[in-house]
Amino acid sequence: MTKGFTIWFTGLSGAGKTTVSRLVEKELRARGYKVEVLDGDVVRENLSKGLGFSKEDRDTNIRRIGFVCELLTRNDVVAIAAAISPYRAIRDENRARVGGRLVEVYCECPIDVLAERDVKGLYKKALRGEIKNFTGVDDPYEPPLSPEVVIESNEETPQQSAVKVIAKLEELGYIYMKEAP
């Protein structure tokens, strides 16, 4: 029987957290693991409805995601969190909350690439000062100091990034290695 664990995807908006987390979810399900994805946008609409974007509200949102990850991990489910989670201290708090069974995945991508990818034009508006408190522009994002996996989404395909995450999970012994056909 396998133990639960949490995969925590962090990075700026548009860096690939949701896309890669869904690919990892698909692979883990194909290998027979119980998996739940907690996507930041979905959580904000449901579990954290009514919270704003102040530091306190962002911390509350990320703590709520961490609490659910703790419950899932404790019940032998693979919890995948995909949320900007801009503050290092709260991410570290959540690592401790799930008993250290957390694999942090940093989705790194330069702002100029994110602005080009952004179909809603939010980065361009934030860079022009039309949107205030935008994470990574005029609100801080604290990159992880030593994540288990770094994804460079401007240089890797989502599939290549997902393979990196799966390989790290195998290396850490959280999942079984896939047998060759």
Active site residue 85: yes
Q: Between the CA of residue 61 and those of 7, 37, 52, what are the distances in Å?
A: 17, 15, 9
Say which of 13, 85, 153, 161 is annotated catalytic.
85
Catalogue the active-site residues: 85
